[in-house]
């Protein structure tokens, strides 16, 4: 199963590419494209209607402003949808965050922090890992690498403080 990354506009691409980058790191097949809830509603309906038949397991949908794409796609499929609120207006993403997260009961969208498409990619991989043990192992290795990185940074800072005599 693949992860489909969609976004309302090409102006969202620099943020949404972070989801693709981490999915590539984790060895998860993915596609990326533009689907706008407001400007291409018919394309959005077709995308959602065909998603399951197209082998998609999780959808990551990013949008800014009146960010209706994640919620509308979620209303059209039972595949899990992860929403990425994008900072695209003077409201710096708070408009998109509230548009995406405040879904009515019955149609959930898993929402990550503003512009945090990387977390959306990781969460999508975690969902797919429920039925993919090789991916689960890669996720464990990914976590271990993060732990080592932070421990190295902590040790380097401790050493700097020690040299200062603090
Ligand atoms: C939203 O409007 C898009 O997701 C984008 O974040 C924002 C601005 O789009 P453009 O005017 O840059 O195409 O629908």
Say whether pLDDT at 7 is over 90. Answer: yes
Q: What is the pLDDT of residues 76-128, one digit of tens each?
A: 999 999 999 999 999 999 999 999 999 999 999 999 999 999 999 999 999 99
Residue of the CA atom closest to atom 1 of ligand 1 = 64
- Residue 53 Cα, ligand 1 centroid: separation in angstroms? 28
Ligand 1 and 95: CB distance under 6 A? no
Angle, in degrees to the nearest 10, between helices 133-164 and 117-128:
140
Please tell me if the CB atom of residue 72 comes closer than 6 angstroms to any atom of ligand 1. no
CA 133: distance to chain centroid? 21
Question: What pLDDT, on the 0 to 100 scale, is given for residue 136?
Answer: 98
> In this model, does residue 166 exceed pLDDT 80?
no
Q: Contact 28/54 with Cβ under 8 angstroms? A: no
pLDDT of 68 above 80 = yes
The residue contributing the CA closest to ligand 1 atom 9 is 9
Note the pLDDT of residue 61: 98
Rounded to a whole number of angstroms, the CA Rg of the chain reads: 18
């Amino acid at each position: 199963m693949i992860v489909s990354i969609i976004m309302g506009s090409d102006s969202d691409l620099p943020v949404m590419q972070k989801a693709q980058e981490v999915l590539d790191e984790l060895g998860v097949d993915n596609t990326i494209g533009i689907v706008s809830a407001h400007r291409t509603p018919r394309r959005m309906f077709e995308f959602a209607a065909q998603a399951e038949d197209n082998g998609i397991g999780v959808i990551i949908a990013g949008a800014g402003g009146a960010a209706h794409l994640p919620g509308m796609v979620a209303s059209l499929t039972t595949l899990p949808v992860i929403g990425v609120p994008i900072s695209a207006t003077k409201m710096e993403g708070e408009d998109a965050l509230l548009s995406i997260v405040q879904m009515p009961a019955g149609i959930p969208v898993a929402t990550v922090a503003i512009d945090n498409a990387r977390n959306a990619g990781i969460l999508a991989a975690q969902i797919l890992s429920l039925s993919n043990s090789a991916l689960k192992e890669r996720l464990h290795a990914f976590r271990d690498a993060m732990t080592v990185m932070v421990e190295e940074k902590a040790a380097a800072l401790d050493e700097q403080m020690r040299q200062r005599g603090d």
